[in-house]
A and B are shown apart, each in its own frame.
Chain A
């Protein structure tokens, strides 16, 4: 039962508006240890240097998209304990299926509420305190 404040989270999205929305929503849950990256490649470099508990990543991004990032994270033994929630739109069913096949822990459909975001994280780690 982790404390929300102890969960380190990386938000990956090429849109600053969405990154800020996720970060501000996480802050409302009590998750304050949040970093941001603008694409999968940047995220992977950062994760190798400094792992986090949870990655919340968009699907569609330039350079390296969310599926490629998920594939890379799952292939990296040092990131074996990294949970992954995919941020998606309701029309992305095909890509979400691919994410499921690659081992995503859960997915979050935009637009979302803070309550939904919390439930998605708790579905992975259990109740947050």
Chain B
């Protein structure tokens, strides 16, 4: 089920315009992922290539949350977790790993398209690949969340700009 998670009181027109931009930018991100994975398959394991793929997946995941595209957010999160392992050097992007990542890239594109068309995607569609991706990441350790952080906001005096 998809639907917009209204962030406060933005107008429907504003949200609709942001949604259009999100899907336009997602196309760019999907192209970056495909290009990056092709480069990895061609033997380019440079950190910048891996970083671009990771950032593109992260960007789709982050912005999809605005529109409550939950299946997309979950899948992108698992996909991103594998790229974190690759980026950290803990997982080598060998041909077997890359085959999984390419299939993940294709499914991510499918989920983006479903979101654009406001179509629900069954968990049955994503679950098998989610498992394959999970196998490539460390055993389940509850990730630290921001709720776990002990942080007090740091107030700052509001001063006129240009003043000393």
Residues of chain A whose beta carbon lies under 8 Å from any beta carbon of chain B = 2, 7-8, 14-18, 20-21, 24-25, 28, 51-53, 60-62, 81, 83, 88-94, 96-97, 100, 103-107, 109-115, 117, 120, 123-126
Q: How many residues of B contact A (CB 8 A)?
A: 40
The answer, among B10, B143, B155, for a CB contact under 8 Å with A28, is B10
Given A89-B62, A92-B146, also A126-B25 (CB < 8 A): no
Known: A52-B161, A110-B62, A124-B154. A90 touches B8 (CB 8 A): no
Structural contact, A123 and B158, CB atoms closer than 8 A? no
Number of A-B contacts (CB under 8 A): 121
| A93 CB contacts on chain B under 8 angstroms | 143-146, 148-149
Whether B122 sits at the interface, judged by CB under 8 Å, is no
The interface residues of chain A lying within 8 Å CB-to-CB of B157 are 81
Partner of B9, one of A61, A92, A104, A114: A114
| Chain A residues closer than 8 Å to B80, beta-carbon distance | 91
- Bound CA span A107–B156, Å: 14
Chain B 132-150: CB-based contact to A (< 8 A → 1; otherwise 0):
0000000000011110110
Given contacts A24-B14, A60-B55, A113-B8, 8 further A-B contacts (CB under 8 A): A15-B22, A15-B63, A17-B18, A17-B63, A18-B62, A53-B158, A114-B8, A125-B156
User: Are the CB atoms of B55 and A62 closer together than 8 Å?
Assistant: yes
Query: Across the interface, which residues of B come within 8 angstroms of A2, CB to CB?
Result: 158
Contacting residue for B153 out of A89, A105, A111, A115, CB 8 A: A105
In the complex, are the beta carbons of A114 and B10 less than 8 A apart? Answer: yes
Q: A24-B18, A123-B153 are known contacts. Are A115 and B8 too (CB-CB below 8 A)?
A: yes
A105 touches B154 (CB 8 A): yes
Interface residues of B (CB under 8 A from A): 5, 7-10, 14, 17-19, 21-22, 25, 52, 55, 58-59, 61-63, 65-66, 77, 80, 143-146, 148-149, 151, 153-159, 161-163
**Cβ contact within 8 Å between A100 and B149:** yes
Chain A residues in 8 Å Cβ range of B17? 20
Query: Are B159 and A81 in contact (CB-based, < 8 A)?
Result: yes
CB neighbours (8 Å) of B52 from chain A are: 62
Contact A100–B58 (Cβ < 8 Å):
no
Nearest 7 Cβ contacts at the A-B interface: A114-B8, A123-B153, A17-B22, A93-B144, A17-B21, A106-B153, A2-B158
Q: A112 to B5: give the CA distance in the assembly, Å.
A: 10
**B5: chain A residues within 8 A (beta carbon):** 111
- Chain A residues whose CB sits within 8 angstroms of the CB of B143 once the complex forms: 91, 93
Residues of A within 8 A of B21 (CB): 16-17, 20
The distance from the CB of A81 to the nearest CB of chain B, in whole angstroms, is 5
